[in-house]
Amino acid sequence: MTVRDDIKMCDLLQPYLQQHEQIHAAMAEVMTATAFINGPQVGAFARQLEDYLSVKRVVPCGNGTDALQIALMALDLEPGDGVIVPAFTYVASAEVIALLGLNPVLVDVDPDTFLLQPEAIEEAIHYYPGRCRAVIPVHLFGQSCPMEPILQLARQYDLYVIEDNAQALGARCQLADGKWYATGTMGAIGCTSFFPTKNLGCMGDGGAMMTQDQVLGDRLHRIANHGQRVKYRHDEVGCNSRLDTLQAAILSVKLKSLDAANQARQQAAARYDALLADCADVLQTPLRSTDSTHVFHQYTLTLWEGNRHGSDGVSQRDALKQYLQERGVPTMVYYPIPLHQQPAFKGCTCIGDLPVATQLTQQVIALPMHTALTQEQQMYIADQIRGFFGR
Ligand SMILES: *Cc1c(COP(=O)(O)O)cnc(C)c1O
What one-character-per-residue DSSP string does 108-170 give? Answer: -B-TTT--B-HHHHHHHHHHSTTTEEEE--B-GGGB---HHHHHHHHHHHT-EEEEE-TT-TT
Residue 324 confidence (pLDDT) above 80: yes
**pLDDT, position 113:** 97
Distances (CA, A) of 352 to 87, 120, 127, 290, 348: 11, 10, 10, 28, 12
Regarding the beta carbon of 238 and ligand 1, being less than 6 Å apart is answered no
Query: For ligand 1, is residue 92 a contact (CB within 6 Å)?
Result: yes
pLDDT for residue 352 is more than 80: yes
On the question of pLDDT at 1 being above 90, the answer is: no
As a whole number, the mean pLDDT across the chain is: 97
pTM, two decimals, is 0.97
- Taking 80 as the threshold, does the pLDDT of residue 164 lie above it? yes
**pLDDT of res. 4:** 87
Domains, in order of start, for the chain: 13-255 (3.40.640.10), 258-388 (3.90.1150.10)
Whole-number pLDDT of residue 25 = 98
Task: Determine which helix (DSSP H) or strand (DSSP E) holds 172, and give its type and residue range.
Answer: strand 172-174
pLDDT tens-digit map of 208-262: 999 999 999 999 999 999 999 899 999 999 999 999 999 999 999 999 999 999 9
Tell me what the mean pLDDT of segment 84-99 comes to.
Answer: 96
Test site for ligand 1: of 10, 61, 63, 65, most ligand atoms within 8 A of the Cβ: 65
pLDDT of 307 above 80: yes
Tens of pLDDT along 108-128? 999 999 999 999 999 999 988
For the CA of 198, the nearest atom of ligand 1: 1
Find out whether the beta carbon of 207 lies less than 6 Å from any atom of ligand 1.
yes
Q: How far, in Å, is the centroid of ligand 1 from the Cα of 99?
A: 16
Q: Is the pLDDT reported for residue 391 higher than 90?
A: no
Q: What's residue 347's pLDDT?
A: 86
* Among the listed residues 73, 59, 61, 45, the one whose alpha carbon sits nearest the alpha carbon of residue 217: 59
Q: How far is the C-alpha of 210 from the C-alpha of 185, rounded, in Å? A: 7
